[in-house]
Amino acid sequence: MKDQLDREIEAALGGRAPEKKLARVYRTDGGKVSETGRKRALIAYRVMSVIVTAVIILILLWSVADLPTFGGAENPADNEVAGRYLEKGLEEGGATNLVANMILDYRAFDTLGESNVLFTACCAVMMLMSFVKSDARKILVKNDAGEDVVLQYGARALCPVILLYALYIMLNGHLGPGGGFSGGAVIGAAMILYRNAFGAEKIRQYFTLKMFRWISFAALAFYALSKAYSFYTGANGLESFISNGTPGAILSAGLILPLNIAVGFVVGCTMYGFYALFERGEI
């Protein structure tokens, strides 16, 4: 099956065999493959991998050995931070969901880093996949048009409901279980279902690479402008001109609601982006 796929890719590239073997990277001045150089590079790679892995394991073991005794009075898990989250969370954050207070108010800078990690990972995969020839992509995915009638009817019925539920999860994140991460995962699932049912060309009528860039940029920029100052104030929040409102109301908890929406858009775009890139090499 692999040989057949190679022949199809070669035919799509006009008879030119793709550079798919690692050994072809190692050449001498005469243009021949240097097997000695390839073997030496492979041995060096394996040795360095073992050394780096061993060093990481030793550092982790050293860190674990230095941890305080579980349940001890000096254990950070028993200090005043957790108590402050529980006792003052509703008053200071305004969200009845104390987890949302923690991740989007007290420790909002952590969530900003996590959102940027997702976006950076998607950008890295996009750059790597850009080296794949466009003609080869067409061969790797043959049945992209979406010909499953049952799947199409199911997607027509389910996708609007799934997206509506995702919106509810994001808007309800400061009131109860939910939030940007879980809502964004549901959005990504709906987009993947629609793509599987109708194909990549159909979903590009609604969601393109340009839209992916702008949505991710706008969401991350809003988050960064809202909370990046926490890096320079020792994670201490500043007084916001947005009122916390009445606890339990949909428009409450200050910036937590819009931050949940921003995180949801980033997570949804990243999930769909990963799927599209690994499936076809492009969004």
Element holding 2 (H helix, E strand)? helix 2-12
- In this model, does residue 198 exceed pLDDT 60? yes
pLDDT at 154: 92
| pTM of structure | 0.68
Q: What whole-number distance in Å separates Cα of residue 139 and Cα of residue 132?
A: 12
Q: Is the CA virtual torsion 235, 238, 243, 246 positive or negative?
A: positive
Q: From the DSSP assignment, how many helices (H) and strands (E) are in the chain?
A: 11, 0
What are 38-52's pLDDT values in tens digits? 888 889 999 999 999
Give the pair of three-digit tokens for residue 174: 């400061």
Answer yes or no: is pLDDT of 24 > 50.
no
Residue 114, amino acid: E
What per-residue confidence (pLDDT) applies to 187? 95
Which residue has better confidence, 19 or 215? 215
How much is the average pLDDT of 137-153? 66
Q: Quick one: 131 exposed, middle or buried, by C-beta within 10 A (0-12, 13-18, 19+)?
A: exposed
Spatial separation of the C-alpha atoms in residues 60 and 231, rounded to whole Å: 26
Task: Give the separation between CA 279 and CA 277, rounded to whole angstroms.
Answer: 5
pLDDT of 262: 93
pLDDT digits (tens, 9 = 90+) for 55-110: 999 999 998 887 777 766 666 665 677 778 888 888 878 888 888 888 888 888 88
For residue 235, name the pLDDT band (cuts at 50, 70, 90): low
Residue 164: the pLDDT is 95
**Strand pairing partners for 33?**
27
Q: For residue range 115-139, what is the model confidence (pLDDT) as tens digits?
A: 889 888 888 888 887 766 555 555 5
Report the chain's C-alpha Rg in angstroms.
25
